[in-house]
Amino acid sequence: MKVLESAPDRYDAGIRILTLGRLDKAYDRLTSYIKRGQKVLDIGCGTGALTLRAAQKGANVKGIDVNLQMLEIAQKRANKMNVTQNVEFCVMGVAELDGETSESYDVVMSGLCFSELTEHELVYTLKELKRILKPRGILLLADEVRPTSLSKKTFNWLIRLPLVIITYILTQTTTKGVENLPEMMEREGFLIESVSSNKMGNFIELVGKKPEE
Ligand SMILES: C[S@@+](CC[C@H](N)C(=O)[O-])C[C@H]1O[C@@H](n2cnc3c(N)ncnc32)[C@H](O)[C@@H]1O
């Protein structure tokens, strides 16, 4: 979604049009796992779509992102929604997760950010999330993934091509769906509680848990 991030003011409207409002519903489902008083981290929080939902539920949320302009919009939205007392936004990338205290979060969540990370960053991030989550802590993810069947792969490639070209022209970067996200999570020691994918197989909602140990 880098093409939308190049114009942060229009990000929220753009994503709503592009996903036909389905992302909002996915985020509502994911944040239904969050409870009042929990300590929550939102990775790549952008304009605060997940952060603010969790804050409205009474959680104490830290939203981190590398894009200051996106965070400024998130902060303005938090002010408007009167949830500033339980949100904190930080300019911080996943590479700085090592500064977070071990076993300190009840929930970590992320929407549409893992697909912007390199495989190396993703593996590092999952390791760090396992470290900073409390035992039985929850990992909530919604992201673009690469379909597994050949027909869905081909269809996905065809419909994404124009977006990939426009994104590359505007930002000289691109995003690609994450490959084998549930398997990667399992490799890093998470238990998979639920996975649901859309019909095209290019978007999943995933609930994982750090084992008790
Ligand atoms: C497509 S946006 C999604 C924003 C928000 N989660 C949402 O769903 O509206 C992806 C966000 O991930 C952030 N991001 C990309 N790479 C990151 C990194 N290495 N560390 C932290 N945030 C990152 C981008 O700046 C961007 O705001």
* Per-residue pLDDT band at 126 (split at 50, 70, 90): very high
Q: Tell whether the model's pLDDT for residue 6 goes beyond 90.
A: no
* Per-residue pLDDT band at 15 (split at 50, 70, 90): confident
14 or 33, greater pLDDT:
33
Percent of the chain with pLDDT over 70: 86
Provide the pLDDT for residue 163: 66
Q: Tell whether the model's pLDDT for residue 53 goes beyond 70.
A: yes
C-alpha separations of 201 from 19, 137, 155 in Å: 14, 27, 10
Provide the pLDDT for residue 34: 98
How far is the C-alpha of 96 from the C-alpha of 94, rounded, in Å?
A: 5
How far is the C-alpha of 168 from the C-alpha of 82, rounded, in Å?
A: 37
Q: Where are the alpha helices (DSSP H) in 57-177?
A: 68-81, 119-132, 150-171
Provide the pLDDT for residue 3: 62
45 lines ligand 1 (CB under 6 A): yes
What burial class does residue 93 get, using C-beta atoms within 10 Å of its C-beta: 0-12 exposed, 13-18 middle, 19+ buried? middle
* Choice from 66, 94, 98 to test ligand 1 binding pocket (greatest atom count within 8 A of CB): 66
Nearest CA to ligand 1 atom 11: 44
22 or 169, greater pLDDT:
22
Mean pLDDT of the region 47-76:
97
DSSP 177: P
Mean pLDDT of the region 62-88:
97
CATH number of 2-209: 3.40.50.150
1 lines ligand 1 (CB under 6 A): yes
Domain assignments of the chain as residue spans, ordered by start: 2-209
16 or 145, greater pLDDT:
145
21 or 39, greater pLDDT:
39
Provide the pLDDT for residue 20: 78
Mean pLDDT of the region 58-62:
98
73 lines ligand 1 (CB under 6 A): no
Q: Cβ contacts of residue 128 below 8 Å, gap of 6+?
A: 94, 97, 98, 100
Provide the pLDDT for residue 168: 62
How far is the C-alpha of 155 from the C-alpha of 129, rounded, in Å?
A: 33
Give 90-123 pLDDT, tens digit per residue.
999 999 999 999 999 999 999 999 999 999 999 9
Q: Tell whether the model's pLDDT for residue 21 goes beyond 90.
A: no
Give 137-192 pLDDT, tens digit per residue.
999 999 999 987 767 666 666 666 666 666 666 666 666 789 999 999 999 999 99
